[in-house]
Amino acid sequence: MAEESGKTKYFALMEMLRDEILSGRIKPGEKLPSENELAAEHHISRHTVRKALDILNQEGYINAVHGKGTFCSERMGHMRQSHNIGVITTYISDYIFPWLIQGMDKVFSANGYSIILKNTGNSRQMERICLEDILKKDIDGLIIEPSKSELLCKHTSLYEKMDSFGIPYVFIQGVYEQMAERPHILMDDCQGGYLVTKYLLSLGHRSLLGIFKADDRQGRERHKGYVKALQETGILYDPDRVIWFHTEDRGSKPFLMTVKLLDRHVPVDGIVCYNDQTAVKMIHTLKKRGIQVPGDISVTGYDNSSMSREEAFNLTTIAHPQEKLGEMAAELLLEQIHGVPETESHVQTLIEPELIVRGSCKAI
């Protein structure tokens, strides 16, 4: 390889290999020819080849693996703009999730991006699998709703890999404790739990039951608001009046334990439910036992889902922005992609809750 336009031989080789990598002709993970092969092909010394490879290695284009050779960095798969965005949520097809995703798609489509959508079923193992799969694809950024966000994340190495690839990501509706400083958009769930509990107390209810999810941040925060409202009213917090459940037993434990308490004639005049899904099933459970809502027991939900507005339930609940939250998450991620500093962000990252009063509660 002769010197071209005054460039040294090693620099000319470095530029040629870099162009091969950036064009995709040398693919991420692909092994490069050996130093001897490159020297012979371009009629230069191994020392010259080594200088070219050293520059590429320092700039992150290649990785040298001892005893195996030199490989194109996996990071290169994410260096070219793909206009694809990864979105990983706990669920997809029901409850608030279709509107959440619709909000994201609205913003991304308007900005020329497409969504690669995955869901975890709120399983940490599935989250790991989804992240591993999404990292094999060309994406410019990721929005993720963490699975069981109240537990410590066991696959932080995958998030570290995204950092090393330069892939920005935004957490929604929860964030792992180890990554609390990462960009995220959350509801003020403590205030939301406080508002529904305070409302029941303002109606004269004093024998409350709280039902909360133990393995995500929302459950923890809503419980904190519940406790705060009780304390403000001068009611002693009773842990036996709180039912904690996990993702795996969400369809049975809240209702089984409530029935057990009622069978023991524990007085209950109001139930603060973790979300609308729990509240709707609770109303069904109570009605099967001949207990009227709100005639005998008042019930509150959370999220203002479509089911909360059905005439049969008419739930008092907390507003959830749903589609708007999806739009906000997309806007925050686009800011990250375009390098907007956090201090200059125009996206609100903590959403204030709003109480929506309907017919599932009644004054005593």
Confidence at residue 4, expressed as pLDDT on a 0 to 100 scale: 46
Q: For the chain, what percent of residues have pLDDT higher than 90?
A: 81
* Tens of pLDDT, residues 351-363: 999 999 999 999 9
Residues 6 or more apart in contact with residue 306 via CB below 8 angstroms: none
Confidence of residue 53 (pLDDT cuts 50, 70, 90): very high
**What is the distance between the alpha carbons of residues 293 and 359, in angstroms, rounded to a whole number?**
9
The tokens describing 353, both together, are 């809750």
User: pLDDT grade, residue 78 (50/70/90)?
Assistant: low
Could you report the per-residue pLDDT of 232-277, keeping only the tens digit for each?
999 999 999 999 999 999 999 999 999 999 999 999 999 999 999 9
pLDDT digits 0-9 by tens, 2-17: 444 446 899 999 999 9
Q: What are phi and psi of 143, to 5 degrees?
A: -110, 130
Q: What is the pLDDT of residue 5?
A: 42
Q: Which residue has the tokens 């950036």?
A: 22
- Res. 20: pLDDT tops 50: yes
pLDDT at 77: 62
pTM value? 0.81
Model confidence pLDDT, tens digit, residues 112-147: 999 999 999 999 999 999 999 998 888 999 999 999
User: What pLDDT sits at residue 258?
Assistant: 98
Mean pLDDT of 96-101: 94
Q: Which domains does the chain have, with CATH numbers?
A: 9-78 (1.10.10.10), 84-187+323-351 (3.40.50.2300), 189-321 (3.40.50.2300)
> Rounded to an integer, what distance in angstroms lies between the CA atom of residue 218 and that of residue 351?
13
pLDDT tens track for 139-185: 999 999 999 999 999 999 999 988 888 899 999 999 999 999 999 99
| Residue 58's pLDDT band (cuts 50, 70, 90) | confident
Q: Which two tokens stand for residue 38?
A: 């490159």
Question: For 291-345, how does the pLDDT look when each residue is reduced to its tens digit (9 = 90+)?
Answer: 999 999 999 999 999 999 998 899 999 999 999 999 999 999 999 999 998 889 9
Whether residue 79 is predicted with pLDDT greater than 80 in this model: the reply is no
Q: Is 253 exposed, middle or buried, given 0-12, 13-18 or 19+ CB atoms closer than 10 A?
A: middle
User: How much is the mean pLDDT over the chain?
Assistant: 93
Mean of pLDDT values over 68-91? 84
